């Protein structure tokens, strides 16, 4: 049922670009379908091999699921594919273990020795611990991305669902408490209780994720004087304060580099432009470039989007035959809604209604 809901439900307005608005839709459908392999325990709960399958399934798969979902969702948002190799290796480890246990559970009249059962159990626990570490790595990576987006390093902050990222980081912690208790207590009664709690949790989670988290409704996180960033921005500000006053000549060269990279080379047209690319073009440290941008241009985010807003107007005048939507996309914005929100932020008295 969960798989069907996740697959067929698509938010209104997201049907034309399902991959963008629901990056995790396909893989979540697969993960919701996989528990079907536990049917040997459903039909024969007294079987020793079926019990071995079901009690090992949760530590084997749940942390792997959490890690892959984190990497898959936020990796697509960030266009970051470096997790593919680790994901492939982890999937081989997990599914080979699950398939082996599934075959053992299905084998007619198979009696395994205590030594073999102990070996299988220990092997599954080892793989489960490795997946727990892998999940921790995924959580750490997502946390790094959260901090990056909170330090004015990106020009399209709307595209990264910060609130959702904070929310899902707590999910593996809940799973760790529930799943490892199954291994600890090794009791069918306790398993039934945990399965009920996981079912309730999955219902709540599924309902919460059905609306797209990439609506561009995270503009509240954009840098403004009234709403300073709350995650790692304090570290960045403290780092800037520790810097000595930038020599005027150095400041001038950095400023010229910023103008060259952003204005002359028009890197602002790249919707995924990051501060790192500007820093590389200037040839100075990120702390210096960020400080000049903040003090002379109002910050990387504001300045890049100011250039984009100007480009929208110029492009529309030079190409009267194109639609406003095309002018907005050609100027480095992800969509029309983001453009109007940013324009309202930069020109609060002049922005047209959306």
CA distance 247 to 253: 10
Question: What's the sign of the alpha-carbon dihedral 68, 275, 317, 352?
Answer: positive
Residues ≥6 apart with Cβ < 8 Å to 218 = 157, 158, 160, 161, 162, 163
Arithmetic mean of pLDDT, 217-236 = 39
Q: What pLDDT, in 10s, does the model give residues 10-30?
A: 666 566 666 666 677 787 788
pLDDT of amino acid 62: 92
Residues ≥6 apart with Cβ < 8 Å to 267 = 261, 273, 277, 278, 281
* Cβ atoms of 144 and 100 closer than 8 Å: no
pLDDT of amino acid 14: 60
User: Side-chain half-sphere of 256: how many Cα atoms within 13 Å?
Assistant: 7
- What are 307's two structure tokens? 């250039």
Q: Regarding predicted confidence, which is higher, 350 or 69?
A: 69
Question: What's the sign of the alpha-carbon dihedral 129, 130, 131, 133?
Answer: positive
Which pTM was predicted? 0.68
Q: Please, what's the largest Cα pairwise distance for the chain?
A: 83
Structural Rg of the chain based on CA atoms? 25
DSSP annotation string for 81-114: -TTHHHHHHHHHHHHHHHHHHHHHHHSTT----H
CA distance 301 to 293: 9
Residue 154 phi, psi (nearest 5) = -125, 150
Strands (E), the chain: none
Smallest Cα–Cα separation from 62: which of 133, 126, 131?
131
pLDDT of amino acid 232: 45
DSSP annotation string for 193-246: HHHHHHHHHHHHHHHHHSS-S-SS--GGGS--SSS---SSHHHHHHHHHHSPPP
pLDDT of amino acid 227: 38
> Which alpha helices (DSSP H) does the chain contain, by range?
2-8, 18-21, 25-33, 39-43, 48-78, 84-106, 114-149, 162-168, 171-185, 188-209, 233-242, 248-258, 275-282, 286-297, 300-318, 324-330, 336-346
Arithmetic mean of pLDDT, 198-215 = 75
Mean pLDDT of the chain: 81
Arithmetic mean of pLDDT, 303-312 = 93
User: pLDDT band for position 8 (50/70/90)?
Assistant: low
**CA dist 79 → 23, 71, 72, 348 (Å):** 11, 10, 10, 32
pLDDT of amino acid 31: 82
Question: In the chain, where are the structural domains located?
Answer: 2-209, 243-346
CA distance 94 to 17: 31
User: pLDDT band for position 97 (50/70/90)?
Assistant: very high
Asked if residue 88 has pLDDT above 90, the reply is: yes
Q: What pLDDT, in 10s, does the model give residues 158-182?
A: 567 778 888 889 889 988 999 999 9
CA distance 117 to 187: 16
Q: How many helices (H) and strands (E) does the chain have?
A: 17, 0
User: pLDDT band for position 151 (50/70/90)?
Assistant: low
pLDDT of amino acid 190: 93
CA distance 295 to 291: 6
Query: The domain 243-346: what is its CATH number?
Result: 1.10.10
């Amino acid at each position: 049922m969960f798989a069907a809901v996740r697959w067929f439900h698509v938010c209104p307005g997201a049907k034309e670009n399902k991959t963008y608005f629901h990056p995790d839709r396909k893989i979540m459908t697969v993960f919701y379908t996989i528990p079907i392999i536990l049917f040997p325990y459903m039909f024969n709960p007294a079987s020793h091999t079926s019990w071995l399958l079901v009690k090992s399934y949760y530590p084997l798969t749940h942390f792997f699921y959490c890690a892959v979902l984190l990497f898959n969702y936020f990796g697509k948002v960030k266009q970051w594919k470096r997790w593919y190799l680790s994901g492939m290796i982890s999937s081989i480890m997990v599914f080979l273990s699950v398939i082996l246990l599934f075959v053992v559970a299905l084998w007619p009249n198979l009696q395994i020795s205590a030594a073999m059962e102990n070996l299988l159990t220990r092997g599954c626990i080892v793989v489960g611990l490795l997946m727990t570490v892998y999940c921790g790595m995924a959580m750490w990576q997502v946390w790094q991305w959260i901090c990056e987006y909170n330090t004015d390093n990106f020009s399209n902050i709307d595209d990264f669902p910060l609130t959702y990222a904070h929310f899902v980081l707590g999910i593996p912690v809940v799973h760790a408490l529930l799943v490892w208790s199954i291994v600890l207590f090794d009791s069918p009664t306790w398993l039934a209780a945990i399965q009920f709690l996981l079912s309730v949790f999955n219902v709540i989670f599924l309902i919460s994720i059905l609306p797209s988290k990439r609506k561009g409704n995270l503009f509240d996180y954009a840098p403004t004087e009234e709403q300073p960033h709350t995650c790692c921005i304090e570290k960045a500000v403290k780092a800037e304060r520790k810097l000595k006053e930038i020599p005027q000549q150095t400041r001038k060269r950095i400023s010229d580099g910023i103008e060259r990279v952003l204005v002359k080379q028009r890197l602002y047209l790249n919707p995924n432009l990051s501060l790192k690319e500007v820093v590389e073009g200037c040839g100075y440290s990120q702390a210096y470039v960020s400080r000049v941008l903040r003090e002379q241009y109002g910050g990387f985010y504001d300045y890049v989007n100011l250039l984009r807003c100007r480009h929208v107007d110029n492009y529309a005048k030079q190409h009267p035959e194109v639609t406003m939507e095309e002018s907005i996309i050609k100027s480095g914005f992800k969509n029309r809604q983001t453009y109007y929100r940013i324009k309202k932020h930069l020109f609060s008295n002049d922005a047209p209604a959306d």
